[in-house]
Structure 1
């Protein structure tokens, strides 16, 4: 009996979602294809029916994860009624919740260090997705791309450091300082 129309695409999407979640939480190097496939509820033998190699999956997972993050941040902005909408995005992005939910968070801080050592294919996709995120920030904050890049770099750096330390008070202070500085970049 043949699979229903669209089955292969649904399976592929499950694999990409599983990979995005795994990469966000564990990075690229420590995540195997069998681990990703198990997360999608599949056996690893079917991987090559959907992808040529792991790099192709990494690239697709980056695209998916950035789209997912932009969609989430847009919802956060849309729910804001008083402050500039970018402030709500900054507050969410640099929140304890986002810091602690790495498997659901932005993939950019999770993978940036590893991406620099990845293939050109992966780095090109990562670059385009970073540009897409900066354009989102630029449009939302109504600032030029250069300031949006500085703003987003501040946000990513603050989140990376807050996730990296074992001292909860220092971590919270890094998030707080990052929020304050990010808001100053919006309205100098």
Structure 2
């Protein structure tokens, strides 16, 4: 049987990661079996262990990679500065609490889609999740400090951190609630998103 090239192996591994990212976020880690996952990735069941030691190992890497992508988008929005749609944080919040983000649980930020799973899984998964949360808090706090300085206001770093914690908590909580009720009470789901968008940065 011919050996696969390093490029093919790397591509297969990436296919598994991408399939797992979609499936874990939309269905939950425990609900996804390895056979089902490998089929989604276009590979055979037995090939899984050529790339990962366990599903838990994969879950931790998916969490880290998902946050890396999400935080990269956040950094680009902040770097763009104020624009049509308001300040960077206003644009971040509008995008996060949009119906498009709500209706795509297999993509977007893992803070909401993997919150329950992270709390139930290994320290490796929880550490990857905590690292992503810290990434968001650090970026938010830095932006609060930058905005205050731009306006000529003094803002204590501890207060900036408190605002960051509150902002992330409200965004994630609102998205989770909106997703939980969107099929049975779409008007309530929209209201949760709309109200949080309107008042979170007040």
Q: What's the TM-score, normalizing by structure 2?
A: 0.83
Q: State which of 119, 127, 131 in structure 2 corresponds to 1:128.
A: 131
Q: State which of 76, 81, 89 in structure 1 corresponds to 2:83.
A: 81
Q: Residue in 2 aligned with 1:162?
A: 178
- Mapped partners of 1:43, 1:59: distance in 2: 22
1:10 maps onto 2:26 in alignment = no
Using a 3 Å threshold, how does the CA distance of structure 1 residues 100 and 80 change in structure 2: closer, same or farther?
farther
- Mapped partners of 1:95, 1:112: distance in 2: 19
Aligned length: 184
Q: Residue in 1 aligned with 2:73?
A: 72
1:149 maps onto 2:165 in alignment = yes
In structure 1, runs of 5+ residues without a counterpart are none
In structure 2, runs of 5+ residues without a counterpart are 146-156
Q: How much has 1:107 moved relative to structure 2?
A: 1.6
- Mapped partners of 2:81, 2:104: distance in 1: 21
Using a 3 Å threshold, how does the CA distance of structure 1 residues 8 and 80 change in structure 2: closer, same or farther?
farther
Superposition CA RMSD, Å: 1.9
**SS, match of residue 131 in structure 1:** helix
Per-residue deviation, residues 5-24 of structure 1 (Å, max 9, x unmatched): 43322221221111111111
Using a 3 Å threshold, how does the CA distance of structure 1 residues 89 and 54 change in structure 2: closer, same or farther?
same
1:104 maps onto 2:107 in alignment = yes
Using a 3 Å threshold, how does the CA distance of structure 1 residues 34 and 76 change in structure 2: closer, same or farther?
farther
Q: What's the TM-score, normalizing by structure 1?
A: 0.88
- Mapped partners of 1:46, 1:79: distance in 2: 45
Mark the structure with the bigger radius of gyration: 2
2:63 and 2:129 in contact (8 A); partners too: yes
1:19 maps onto 2:20 in alignment = yes
Within-5 A mapping of 1:49-68: 49-68=50-69
- Mapped partners of 1:31, 1:117: distance in 2: 15
Q: State which of 156, 178, 181 in structure 1 corresponds to 2:196.
A: 178
Q: State which of 95, 98, 106 in structure 2 corresponds to 1:95.
A: 98
1:24 and 1:104 in contact (8 A); partners too: yes
